[in-house]
């Protein structure tokens, strides 16, 4: 029997020691990082006292504003307040309409109205932007007469483009085509 001798100096174990050492160091570093992240996460979950105080203060303000809103809604819903508002709105509308010069309006319409078109009804409306809209009902003997009127309105510097809302054909009681239209009117109030 021959005996084998093993010389560790001439036959080293290889690089497995280095691998296990590096793996252990990496595992310890990862574990330390995980512990650090966990502590940071649980430490940041606690809400600071000043943030809680700010939140409570804001909640109190919201509650106070809600109470004030309820009081104001009750005041505005009061029938006496509604009557005053309606009356002032009516008077403001009346004053605004009074500011529209009918003489100037009819003179401007007369400039653009063809001879074979009749003005049957006119109603001014003042928008919230203080622009004047004229709602008109006109009668025309033919379509061509009405088209001439619309073309003249479009070319005028006093009137905006007309918006034709409807028409009705002639019948045995009314010999004219009737057209309803709205047009903006550049009269200063």
Whether residue 122 lies inside any domain: the answer is: yes
pLDDT at residue 6, as a whole number: 58
Decide if pLDDT at 7 tops 70. no
Whether residue 79 lies inside any domain: the answer is: yes
Do both 107 and 179 map to the same domain?
A: yes
Decide if pLDDT at 127 tops 70. yes
Do both 132 and 113 map to the same domain?
A: yes
Q: CA-based angle 136:140:142, to the nearest 5? A: 145
Element (H, E) at 79: helix 79-98
Do both 148 and 164 map to the same domain?
A: yes
Long-range contacts of 97-101 (CB under 8 A, 24+ apart): 97/124, 97/126, 99/189, 100/124, 100/126, 100/132, 100/187, 100/189, 101/187
Do both 88 and 153 map to the same domain?
A: no
Task: Provide the domain limits for residue 73.
Answer: 57-98
Do both 109 and 137 map to the same domain?
A: yes
Q: Mind listing the pLDDT tens digit for each residue in 150-160?
A: 999 988 888 98
Whether residue 13 lies inside any domain: the answer is: no
Do both 73 and 92 map to the same domain?
A: yes
Decide if pLDDT at 84 tops 90. no
Q: Mind listing the pLDDT tens digit for each residue in 39-77?
A: 888 877 777 788 888 999 999 999 999 999 999 888 888
Whether residue 143 lies inside any domain: the answer is: yes
pLDDT at residue 117, as a whole number: 92
Do both 154 and 113 map to the same domain?
A: yes
CA distance 189 to 186: 9
The CATH number given to whatever domain includes residue 137 is 3.30.70.2830
């Amino acid at each position: 029997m021959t005996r084998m001798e093993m010389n560790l100096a001439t036959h080293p174990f290889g690089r497995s020691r280095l691998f296990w050492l590096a793996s252990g160091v990496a595992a310890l570093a990862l574990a330390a990082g995980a512990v650090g992240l966990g502590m940071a996460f649980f430490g940041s979950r606690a809400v600071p006292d000043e943030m809680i105080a700010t939140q409570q203060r804001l909640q109190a303000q919201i509650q106070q504003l809600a109470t004030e809103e309820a009081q104001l809604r009750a005041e505005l819903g009061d029938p006496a307040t509604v009557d005053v508002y309606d009356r002032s709105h009516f008077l403001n509308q009346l004053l605004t309409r009074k500011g529209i010069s009918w003489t100037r309006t009819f003179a401007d319409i007369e400039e653009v109205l063809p001879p074979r078109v009749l003005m049957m009804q006119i109603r001014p409306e003042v928008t919230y932007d203080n622009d004047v809209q004229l709602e008109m009902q006109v009668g025309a003997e033919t379509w061509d007469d009405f088209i001439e009127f619309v073309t003249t309105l479009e070319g005028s510097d006093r009137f905006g483009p007309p918006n034709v809302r409807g028409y009705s054909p002639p019948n045995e009681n009314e010999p004219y085509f009737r057209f309803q239209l709205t047009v903006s009117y550049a009269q200063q109030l």
